[in-house]
Amino acid sequence: MELFDTASTMTRTKNLFSGMDQWLTNNLHLSGSNINYVKIPFLLICLVVICCLVWWLARKICIVLVHKFVKKSKTTWDDLLIERKVFLKISALLPIFIIKAAAPVIFVDFPSASHFVLKLTDILIIGIFAVVIVAVLNTIAAVLSQVPSLKEKPVFSYVQVINIFVYLVAGILILSVLLGKSPLYFLGPWAP
């Protein structure tokens, strides 16, 4: 079962846009393709405002609630997560998910623009996940470096190797999205 029924979503979108088209025709005396030149910039401005509000709210909630929870706990690893701004990096995903959901609706008459925006959001999601994973790994390295038995071990060096691997995988996934190929394609002879 699909999360969203695309047929009913497209029908509701067309009904919403036909009402908007009718309003633009009646009040601004626009017709035909001229309506899209007013409707799409208006919808994009609304999308940007909504994304900015969601991002701002997510950051505020993160700063207030997560910081309050972290200050009450006695562990030090969560303080390092705050210090490395892991939760703030995660909050950047919310506006991107909103854009990913809204792009097919806004660009319903322009499938190539919708396809471009969806690829761009996929690339941003991959990049942010890579940055979050690296921040978490660096936090783990900082916690492990405080353990007395591991103080003499090169924990950060091991984590840097893992970070390089994370960025390599993210790069392969980004190339996969850009070129429309399977990630295994880029592994060449090592692919199963």
In 62-76, which residue ranges form alpha helices assigned H by DSSP? 67-72
Least confident of 70-74, 129-133, 155-159: 70-74
Helix axes 34-61, 93-106, angle to 10 degrees: 160
pLDDT tens string 100-129: 998 888 888 788 998 999 999 999 999 999
User: What's the DSSP call for residue 109?
Assistant: T
**Block residue for tokens 């705050």:** 82
Distance between CA atoms of residues 45 and 40, nearest Å: 9
Q: What phi-psi label fits residue 73: left (phi over 0), alpha (psi between -120 and 50 degrees) or beta?
A: beta
Mean of all residue pLDDT scores within the chain: 82
